[in-house]
Every structure is written in C-alpha cells, then in structure tokens.
Structure 1
Amino acid sequence: MRKIIQFPFVWILTGVILLGLSGFMTQKLLVDSQGILSIMLALAGGFVSIAIYWLVIKFMAGRKVQELQLRGAGIEWALGAGIGLIFIGVSVGIITMFGGYNFTWSATNAVGSIWALAIGAAIVEELIFRGLFLQAVEKRLGSWFALAITSLFFGLAHLPNPEATLWSSIAIVIEAGILLGAGFLWRRNLWFVIGLHFAWNALEGMLGIPVSGIATQGFFDVQLSGPPWLTGGSFGLEASIIPVILSLLIAIPMLINAHHKGNIKIKR
C-alpha cells in the first residue's frame, strides 16, 4: 500500500484533485463577497490549499516539504512580489510609451475582488505546477525537461480562458511558465513564486488590464491603441510581445544562478 501511495501518479493526481476542489470552493465563496471579506476568504482558502499540499507531500510523497518552510517565507514572498511588480510595471510602461495603453481614472473599482482572485490563483496554480508537477517530473527527467513540460502545460491550461488564442498560450508558456519555473529552480521556494505570481496578477488588475483574458475593474479604464502584438489585445498584457521579451531577460539570469547554486538537476 505504501508503494502504491508513493507512486508519483497517485499522489500527484490526489494533490491536483484536492487542490482543484479547494480552489473551486474558494471561488464559489468569493462570488457573493466583496472588499476585505473577499480577501479574508481567499486567504482562508489559500491556507487550506497549502495544508492540503503539505499533507500530500509529507504523507503520500514521503518527503520533507522544504519548499514551504516558514523560516524566511516573508522575505521570499516579498522578493518574488518585488520582481513581479517590476516586471509588470516595466512592461506596462514600455507599451504606454509606444502609445499602446491610455489610462483614465475609473469612478468605481473592485480591488478587493482583484486581490482575492490574485491570491487564489497564485497559491493554487503554484502549488500544482511548480509544487507538484515540476518537482515530480524533475525527479524522473531532470530540471530542463521539468521546466519545459510544466511550462507547456501551464500555457495549455490558459487556452480555455476568455479571448485566448494559440499565440496567447504560447506567450504564457514563455513569460509565465518559464519565468515562474526559473524562479522556483533559482530559489527552491514556493513562497517566492507565489509572491511573484500574486503581484503580477494584482497589479494588472488594479491597472484595469485584463488578466489572462479575464476583465478587471481596477483603478483605471484602459484604452488600447495599436496592434495586438504590442497591446495584447482583448486578452490583456500576457499576449503582448513586450512581457515575453522581458520575462526571458529575467528568467535567464535566474537559471544561470540556479546552475551556479547546484539547483539544476540533470539525469544521465
């Protein structure tokens, strides 16, 4: 029975199902909530998801959960969030400089809901893709295959989103799958990539830019001007070529540092 439970397919599938249910239930609770209540519910749902992940890794995969250790968690989260803010801020700034975005102040906003959705997406998606998938594939095939495979599936997972296209999914493979995967390989810490992912989605939403095709009601209304390859079109910033390029400029140094730290595992 222990061998069956510790078989990767079994504990990965169990983790994905339980985390998916946790995320689904949290989203259902968020539908009728606003403001600080929605943020508190999202944090509670995130706590449940983290507990599920810890239990699956500890008692089914049978290993220590080093990637979620509490010591230094705040620093790792803040570092990731800082990089996420810079990444999105610079991307938006370049597109605006070329005339792609024009911002006007919005009379209403739903920042509480934006933060709540960003919290839920960051925690559940990182626990599944960088927590369960990447490390399981890495153990069998090495870091490079794990990075490539999980990045591909991360892009495909966003294909059903509103306004998604083949290009938007390819862009997410590069700018999100590779960047977040590189961040995990560099830091070997899920708090770091959760912080990066959260800041990415939250800043986009607060600026009123669609987050992976999902419309947001932030502090601004955004008018697009120019080709979709620059602005990302109705899908949002992720479908612009600008963050694709910038993400590689961030991910490559991360991977170099991961190699120097001995965090890249190669199967021979």
Structure 2
Amino acid sequence: MTKMKKVQRLGVDGVEENKQQLDDISLASVWQSFGIFIIAGYVLLLLFFGEGRFSYLQTMWEAENVLLDIGFGVLIGVLFTGTIALLYYFTSLSMPDNQYTKLIKKMLYKKYGVFTIAFGAGISEEILFRGALLGIGMKYMETFWALLVVSLIFMALHIPQYKGNIWVHVIVFGMGMVLGWLFIETGALWAPIAAHTAYNGCISLLMKRQGRE
C-alpha cells in the first residue's frame, strides 16, 4: 500500500470511528458526565454563594419529612408524564428524530439504561440547576427572576438533545419551572429529584415500549 493510500485509509478509519462514537455512547461515559454536573454544582456554590454557603449545603438535604417530599415529587413527576403522554397521543407533538434522541433510545435497551437516565440525570441535574444555580440566583435577584433564568438555562442545555421541535423545548422549560418551584416550596432537593427521576423514568419506559411496537 502506498503512503498516499495509507493516509487515505487512516482518514476513512478515523471517520468511521468518529461515526461509531456518535452512534453510541457507553453508560460509563454518561455517568462521568453526571459526576461532572455534581462537582460543578458544589464548586459553583463554594465560589459564588457567599456567606452561609456551608449551612446552605447542609440545608439542601434537610427536610421535615423526607418521605413526604419524595412522595410529592414522584406524584408531580407522574402527573407531568401523563400530561406529556396525552399531548403526544392527541396532538401532533412528537420526539425529534436526531442524533441525540437516537442515542437516548439506544441507551434505553442497555442494562441499567433506564436507571441511568432516570436516577443519574435526576440527581445530578437537580444538584446543578436547582441546588446550585437556583440557590445562587436567589441570593442575587428576586426568586421569580432566579427561577425564570435558571429554567431558561435548563431548557438551553437540552436544545441540542431536542432540536427540531420547539414545543418540546417549551415543555422542558415548563418542567424546569415546576422543579424549581418544588425546590423553593420544600427548601430541599428531595422533591425535585424525585419528580425529575419519576418523569425521566416514566418517559424512558414509554419510549422503550414504543420502540418495541
């Protein structure tokens, strides 16, 4: 094989390897991303929360009745899932068909795939967005504006994942507002984590069931 052909072969192999990486992703890589979210949340709190940061870190996990908060969160998550399901079946709402949604669907069929999407995202994103960003935001602006800004950031993070359907972005924004409200009302992360986990889990199971039909 000539030198030029070797270079061309390497180029083709590189493209194929990149394509394979884009077509699939390991659950270990996903959990690493969730870990980065958690670390980022705590670092942001330590750097920008100001006085009382350590007591706030403790307060995020304190609740008068943890089980009640979790139950309430699960109920909200299931109700939100039901609303989305009704919109899906009775309107033109549909999941965008892009690279990221295909990755998610592939993850669902892996061992612990649904668990990863439900609990991994539910815990890590709530620590970052509600615990850290919303907590910091409420230190520097009125609660409503902090909730609005953080919900917009939450939606923006999911734009690549759901690009192709503006209504899905609106739903993600609405979910961000609901999760933020849960955090504000309960003063802890248990309810929003439960709601986020329940929602992700239910949606994942519905997507997995739909893929089998």
Where do residues 11-26 of structure 1 align in structure 2 (5 Å cutoff)?
none
Change (3 A) 1:219 1:112: farther
1:150 and 2:144 aligned: no
Instruction: Give the whole-Å Cα distance in 1 for the aligned partners of 2:153 and 2:80.
Output: 22
Change (3 A) 1:168 1:72: same
| Greater relative CO, 1 or 2 (CA 8 Å, sep 6+) | 2
Query: Percent same amino acid among aligned pairs?
Result: 22
TM-score (norm 2): 0.63
Change (3 A) 1:221 1:159: same
Instruction: Give the whole-Å Cα distance in 2 for the aligned partners of 1:159 and 1:48.
Output: 19
CA deviation after TM superposition for structure 1 residue 140, in Å = 1.0
1:219 and 2:212 aligned: no
Where do residues 27-106 of structure 1 align in structure 2 (5 Å cutoff)?
30-31=27-28, 57=45, 61=49, 62-64=53-55, 65-69=58-62, 72-93=65-86, 95-96=88-89, 98=90
1:181 and 2:172 aligned: no
Provide Cα deviations, 1:204-238, integer angstroms capped at 9, x if missing partner.
11011xxxxxxxxx234388xxxxxxxxxxxxxxx
AA matched with 2:27: L
Where do residues 190-201 of structure 1 align in structure 2 (5 Å cutoff)?
190-201=189-200
Task: Note the aligned Cα RMSD (angstroms).
Answer: 3.6
1:117 and 2:138 aligned: no
Instruction: Give the whole-Å Cα distance in 2 for the aligned partners of 1:53 and 1:161.
Output: 21
CA deviation after TM superposition for structure 1 residue 168, in Å = 3.2
1:204 and 2:195 aligned: no
Change (3 A) 1:49 1:150: closer
2:81–2:202 CA contact under 8 A, matched in 1: yes
1:46–1:119 CA contact under 8 A, matched in 2: no
Instruction: Give the whole-Å Cα distance in 2 for the aligned partners of 1:112 and 1:79.
Output: 25
Change (3 A) 1:60 1:93: closer
AA matched with 1:192: A
**Structure 1 residues not aligned, in runs of 5+:** 1-27, 33-37, 102-107, 209-217, 224-268
For these two proteins, the number of residue pairs brought into alignment is 170
Provide Cα deviations, 1:115-140, integer angstroms capped at 9, x if missing partner.
21221111111111111111111111
**Structure 2 residues not aligned, in runs of 5+:** 1-24, 94-107
Change (3 A) 1:171 1:47: closer
CA deviation after TM superposition for structure 1 residue 111, in Å = 6.8
AA matched with 2:211: D
TM-score (norm 1): 0.52
Matched residue, 1:138: 138
Change (3 A) 1:222 1:185: farther
Matched residue, 2:160: 160
AA matched with 2:209: F
